[in-house]
Chains A and B, each alone.
Chain A
Amino acid sequence: MKVTFCTDLDKSVVVANCEKRGWVQVGPEDDWLIAKKEDGYKSLFSVDSGYRMNDNQIINHFPNHYEISRKDLLVKNIKRYRRDLEKEVTFVLPADYNMFVEEYRKAPQSTWIMKPCGRSQGSGIFLINKLSKLKRWSRESKNPFQPQLSKESYVISRYIENPLLIGGKKFDLRLYVLVTSFRPLKAYQFKHGFCRFCTVKYDSSVAELDNMYVHLTNVSVQKHGSEYNALHGGKMSVQNLRLYLESTRGKAVTETLFDQISWLITHSLKAVAPVIATDRHCFECYGYDIIIDNKLKPWLIEVNASPSLTSTTANDRILKHKLLDNILSIIIPPCGYPDVRWNKIPSREAMRDFDLLIDEDLIHLQEEMETGDKYTVKQTMYRWNRYALFNCCRISCLPNKLKPNLAERCVLEL
C-alpha cells in the first residue's frame, strides 16, 4: 500500500523521516494517511467540515489537546484530578484574583511568576515579589481585571526560588512524551532530552528580578543574550545530567529523581485523560518542561503540544530526527501502514528509544493473564505507593500535601 503524508510544517526532520520510509508527500486536498499539522487541524474535526477520516488515516494531534498544553487549562484539569486541594499555588488571573490575594498574604515574602495563558517562548512573562507590583501592572495594562475587555488572561504561580544550579546556572528539562491513546492511556517517554541553561548565573536577589537571562530558560529568550553560544545553544543532554548527578549526589537519589519525573508525567496525563476527546486516528507528542529544585524534587512547568522541531545545534538535529523516527516506528502497526483497528501495542523493538510509561491495556492484560515479562512496563509502574504520590507528583500548581485518601483512590484507578 502506498503511504502518503501531508504536513503544513516545512521541517526537514519531518519530511526526511517520512521519505525515508518511502512515503509520498501530498497536499491537504489529496488523500493522505498521516498528517502532521500544526494549524488548521481543528477544522478537520469539526462537524461542519464534513471531513471524516477513514481507518487508514492518522493525525498527530488530539482534537482538544489544548486541555493539557494551555497553561490555564492544565491547571484546571489537574485541580479537578485532585479535587481535594488544601492549598492553591497557581491561579488564573483575573478570574482567581481574590483567591490569589488570600494566598499571597499567607507568604508575602515569596516570588510569583506571571505568564500569559495563550503565549509561549517566554514572551510576556515576568516575576513579581510584591502585591503592589501586581496592582501597578494591572493598572498599567490597558484592560485591567475586567474579563469582558481583557484580551489576555494570565496564570500566576509560585516561583521556584531554589532551582538546582549547575555551574551556578539555572536550567530546565525538556523531555518528550508520546501519547497514542488517552482512554485507555498509552504513553511513552523518550530516553533522550536536554537541559536548557540560562546564560547568566542565577541570582534570586530583587535587583535581578527583571533580568530574564537569569530566570527564564527558554532558548528563544536566551539566544538574544550576549553570552549565548550557538555551538551548544546552552543545551546539555539529559544523559549528562544523570551522570553529573550520579557523581555528585549518588546513584540512588538520581534514580529516584528520574522515577519521580516519570511519575509526574504519568499523573499529568491521567489528569487530562477524562477530558481529551479520544479518537483512534490521533497520536500526539508532548514536550514536557520540568524544573528540578535543589532538593532534587521535579516540578512540572508546562506541557507543549507542538514542541519545537527546529534544531539549534547539530546534536539537536540528531535528537529530533531520532525522535520523529521513533515516533513513527511506534505509531505504525506491524503491517507497515496506518490502521486504526490495530490494538496499538507496539513490540519492544518498535519502541526503540522510547520507554513505556503506561499502557492501561497492558496492565489489564497482565492482570488477566499474568503473562510474565513479554512486555515489561517501566519498572516504576509497580512502585506505585503512597510515598510516590506524596513526594513526586507535585506539579507546580499542586499543593504540597495531598489528602491520604486521594492516594488510595489513584491506586484503585490503576
Chain B
Amino acid sequence: MDEIKDKGIHHTAIKICEDLQPSPAYVGLYKEIQKLVSSQHVKYDDFKDSLTKAIKDNGIECQLRNNIYHWVRVKNTESVTGHVFFKKAQVHWDKRIHKSLNSMCNELGIDLAKLRSTAERNDLMEKWSEMSNYDVDVSKYRPVYAPKDFLEVLLNLKDPSFVHKDGEPEWEFSFLPLEVKDLEDLRALYTEFSRGEQILGTGLVGSQAALEEERIILGEKVLTKNYAPVAQEYLKRGCPRSLRAKMWSLVLGVGGKYTQQEYFHNLKNHVLQYDLMIDKLVIKDIQLTASNDDQYFVFEDVLYQIMLCFSRDGTIIKNLKNQPGYMQVILKGKQPTAENTITFPPSGVIPFHGFTIFLFEVTVSLNSKSIDNIAEAVSFPLFLFALTWTRRSTSAVVIRIIIQIYKKAKANFIKKWYSGHRDSRIGNGGTVTQCHQ
C-alpha cells in the first residue's frame, strides 16, 4: 500500500516538474537554486540534505509550495465540467458576439487582424507612454456589448430540470434550481458566510475603521509568511487597500522579479506588430469612459498600455475554466498558413462597454510607482480573468441569482448571510471572496 502511495507521489512530482518547467516562475526559481548550490550552505559531500535545508532556510521552499499551489489551481480549473445548458448558453453567446464583431468589420470595411506598417509601428512606439495623444479615428466603432446585455443573458438561463414547486412564489428570473434543499443545507454549503463574521467593506461604516486596523495587522503577518494559500484564506474576509497589491500578487503567483519585464515586453511587441480590430475597441472604450471621468482620467495613459497588452495575453484564454469561443484569423493579405494565423482575440476576451473601468483598481494597486514599473502591473490579467470570468462560472452565477431571489423575497432570515455578498463590486474588500472557487 505504502509502495503504491510512494509511486503515486513520485509520479505527481515528475508531472509537476514537467509542468513547472515552461512556467514563467521557473526561471527565477532555478536561478535562485543555482545560486544556493554555489553558496557555502550546500556541501558537496552532503549534497541532498544540505540543499534541502538551504532551500528551506532561504524561503525557496515557500516559493516552491506557492508554485505547486498555483499548479493545483490551474489543474482544478481544467477538470471542472459545467452543466450542459450553461455550456450551450455560453457557445450561443460567444457566437453572437463574434457575429456582431464580424458584421461591424464588414460594415466599416476593416480587417480583424493585419500587420502594422513600419511607419505605423514607429508612430505607436513613439506615443506609447502618452497614448492619449495617439491619433486614431474610432468614431465609427461602437462597443460590442454592454454589461446589461450580458446580464440579460444570465437572467434568462434556464435549467431544463428546473421545476416550479407549488407554494413557492413566482420569481421573475429564476429558472435555476438551488443546489440545496433548505436553509440548513445552504448554511452548510457556505459555511464561511454563515459564521456571520464581519467582512471588510460591508456592514456599518462606523465599525469599519477598527476592523481595517485589525485586518492590516493580520495581513502584514500573512505577507511575511509569503504562503499563497494562507493569503487566499485571508482575502476571504476582505483585504485593506494598502495591502491589496502584495496580497493579490501572492495569491496569483505573479510579480516574479526575473520574468515579468520580459513577458511584458513580448506582449508589447505583439501590439506593435499586429493591428487588431480589438485595439480600436479598447481605445474606444477608454475614450468613452476613463478619459472623461474625474476618477480615472489621471490613469488614462497607463490604462491604454495595460489594456492593449492584456488583449494579447494568451495565458488568459488558456486558464479560463469555460473555454470561451475564439476565432482563428488569417492576417490580411497573407497566405493561410500557420504562422499567418492568429487567435482572435489572443486573450479570448472581447471588451464590453466599461471594461476598462474594471481594470482601474488593479492598475492603481499594482502600478505602484511609475509607468516604468508597468511590467509589474501586467500581473493584473490573471487577476482580471479571475474577476470577470468567474462570473460566468456556475457557482458564481448561482450565488448571484440566489441573491436576487432573496432580495425579492425580502426574506429577513437570510439577511445575515446575504450581507456577506451584498457589496461585491470591484474596489471592495469583499470582492475577493468571489474570485476563488
Chain A positions near chain B (C-beta within 8 angstroms): 165-169, 197, 201, 227, 229, 231-237, 240, 243-244, 246-251, 254, 313, 315
Which of B74-82, B196-204, B263-271, B368-376 touches A?
B368-376
- Nearest A residue to B369 via CB reads A248
Q: How far is the CB of A252 from chain B (nearest CB, A)?
A: 8
Q: How far is the CA of A119 from the CA of B43 in the complex (A)?
A: 75
Q: How far is the CB of B283 from chain A (nearest CB, A)?
A: 16
Q: How far is the CB of A140 from chain B (nearest CB, A)?
A: 34
Which of B1-9, B95-103, B286-294, B347-355 touches A?
B286-294
- With a cutoff of 8 Å between Cβ atoms, the chain B residues found around residue A250 in the complex are 242
Task: Give me 16 A-to-B residue pairs in the complex whose CB atoms sit less than 8 angstroms apart, sorted by A's number.
Answer: A166-B299, A197-B298, A201-B129, A227-B133, A229-B297, A231-B292, A231-B294, A236-B295, A237-B294, A244-B364, A248-B364, A249-B242, A251-B212, A251-B241, A251-B242, A313-B294
B130 within 8 A of A: yes
Contact pattern, B 367-402, Cβ under 8 Å of A = 1, otherwise 0: 111110000000000000000000000000000000
B307 within 8 A of A: no
- With a cutoff of 8 Å between Cβ atoms, the chain A residues found around residue B245 in the complex are 247-248
A246 touches B301 (CB 8 A): no
Our pick among A166, A227, A247, A313 for the contact of B298 (Cβ within 8 Å) is: A166
- Nearest A residue to B297 via CB reads A232
Q: How far is the CA of A223 from the CA of B22 in the complex (A)?
A: 52
B240 within 8 A of A: yes
Q: How far is the CB of A373 from chain B (nearest CB, A)?
A: 15
Q: How far is the CB of B295 from chain A (nearest CB, A)?
A: 6
Most chain A CB within a 10 A radius of its CB, from B130, B298, B369:
B298
A248 touches B368 (CB 8 A): yes
**Contacting residues of chain B (56-79) with chain A, CB-CB under 8 angstroms:** none
Q: How far is the CB of A321 from chain B (nearest CB, A)?
A: 16
- With a cutoff of 8 Å between Cβ atoms, the chain A residues found around residue B365 in the complex are 247-248
Q: How far is the CA of A234 from the CA of B291 in the complex (A)?
A: 10
Nearest 3 A/B pairs, CB to CB: A232-B294, A231-B292, A251-B242
Q: How far is the CB of B362 from chain A (nearest CB, A)?
A: 10
Q: How far is the CB of B240 from chain A (nearest CB, A)?
A: 7
13 more A-B residue pairs beyond the given contacts A247-B242, A251-B241, with a C-beta to C-beta distance below 8 A: A166-B298, A167-B302, A168-B371, A197-B298, A232-B292, A235-B294, A237-B295, A240-B295, A247-B364, A248-B368, A251-B212, A251-B216, A254-B242
Q: How far is the CA of A254 from the CA of B368 in the complex (A)?
A: 14
**Contacting residues of chain B (216-257) with chain A, CB-CB under 8 angstroms:** 216, 240-242, 244-245
Q: How far is the CB of A247 from chain B (nearest CB, A)?
A: 5
- Nearest A residue to B212 via CB reads A251
Q: How far is the CA of A48 from the CA of B316 in the complex (A)?
A: 79
Q: How far is the CB of B28 from chain A (nearest CB, A)?
A: 24
- Nearest A residue to B364 via CB reads A247
- With a cutoff of 8 Å between Cβ atoms, the chain A residues found around residue B291 in the complex are 229
Q: How far is the CA of A231 from the CA of B287 in the complex (A)?
A: 12
Q: How far is the CA of A254 from the CA of B240 in the complex (A)?
A: 14
Q: How far is the CA of A313 from the CA of B293 in the complex (A)?
A: 11
Q: How far is the CA of A227 from the CA of B130 in the complex (A)?
A: 12
Our pick among B130, B240, B241, B299 for the contact of A201 (Cβ within 8 Å) is: B130
Q: How far is the CA of A240 from the CA of B294 in the complex (A)?
A: 9
Q: Is the interface of A mostly helix, strand, loop or mixed?
A: mixed
B300 within 8 A of A: yes
Q: How far is the CA of A109 from the CA of B298 in the complex (A)?
A: 31
Chain B positions near chain A (C-beta within 8 angstroms): 129-130, 132-133, 212, 216, 240-242, 244-245, 291-295, 297-302, 364-365, 367-371
Our pick among A168, A229, A254 for the contact of B370 (Cβ within 8 Å) is: A168
- Nearest B residue to A240 via CB reads B295
A236 touches B241 (CB 8 A): no
Q: How far is the CB of B228 from chain A (nearest CB, A)?
A: 21
- Nearest B residue to A243 via CB reads B241
Q: How far is the CB of A408 from chain B (nearest CB, A)?
A: 32
- With a cutoff of 8 Å between Cβ atoms, the chain B residues found around residue A246 in the complex are 241-242
Q: How far is the CA of A243 from the CA of B212 in the complex (A)?
A: 14
- Nearest B residue to A171 via CB reads B298
- Nearest A residue to B299 via CB reads A167
- With a cutoff of 8 Å between Cβ atoms, the chain B residues found around residue A168 in the complex are 129, 301, 370-371
A167 touches B300 (CB 8 A): yes
Q: How far is the CA of A364 from the CA of B143 in the complex (A)?
A: 62
- Nearest A residue to B362 via CB reads A247
Q: How far is the CA of A351 from the CA of B410 in the complex (A)?
A: 37
Q: How far is the CA of A251 from the CA of B299 in the complex (A)?
A: 21
- With a cutoff of 8 Å between Cβ atoms, the chain B residues found around residue A234 in the complex are 297
Q: How far is the CB of B289 from chain A (nearest CB, A)?
A: 11
Q: How far is the CB of A318 from chain B (nearest CB, A)?
A: 11
Q: How far is the CB of B212 from chain A (nearest CB, A)?
A: 8
B294 touches A315 (CB 8 A): yes
- With a cutoff of 8 Å between Cβ atoms, the chain B residues found around residue A166 in the complex are 298-299
- Nearest A residue to B130 via CB reads A201
Q: How far is the CB of B359 from chain A (nearest CB, A)?
A: 14
Q: How far is the CA of A235 from the CA of B292 in the complex (A)?
A: 11
- Nearest A residue to B293 via CB reads A232
A229 touches B292 (CB 8 A): yes
Q: How far is the CA of A315 from the CA of B212 in the complex (A)?
A: 29
Q: How far is the CA of A112 from the CA of B131 in the complex (A)?
A: 32
Q: How far is the CA of A380 from the CA of B49 in the complex (A)?
A: 56
Q: How far is the CA of A227 from the CA of B242 in the complex (A)?
A: 32
Q: How far is the CA of A178 from the CA of B298 in the complex (A)?
A: 29
- With a cutoff of 8 Å between Cβ atoms, the chain A residues found around residue B300 in the complex are 167
- With a cutoff of 8 Å between Cβ atoms, the chain A residues found around residue B241 in the complex are 243, 246-247, 251
- Nearest B residue to A235 via CB reads B294
Q: How far is the CA of A36 from the CA of B338 in the complex (A)?
A: 75
A167 touches B294 (CB 8 A): no
A167 touches B298 (CB 8 A): yes
Q: How far is the CB of B101 from chain A (nearest CB, A)?
A: 29
A251 touches B292 (CB 8 A): no
Q: How far is the CA of A248 from the CA of B240 in the complex (A)?
A: 12
B368 touches A236 (CB 8 A): no
- With a cutoff of 8 Å between Cβ atoms, the chain B residues found around residue A249 in the complex are 242
Known contacts A201-B130, A236-B295, A247-B244: A167-B301 contact under CB 8 Å: yes
- Nearest A residue to B133 via CB reads A227
B294 touches A169 (CB 8 A): no
Q: How far is the CB of B346 from chain A (nearest CB, A)?
A: 27
- With a cutoff of 8 Å between Cβ atoms, the chain A residues found around residue B367 in the complex are 248
- Nearest A residue to B132 via CB reads A227
- Nearest A residue to B372 via CB reads A168
Q: How far is the CB of A349 from chain B (nearest CB, A)?
A: 16
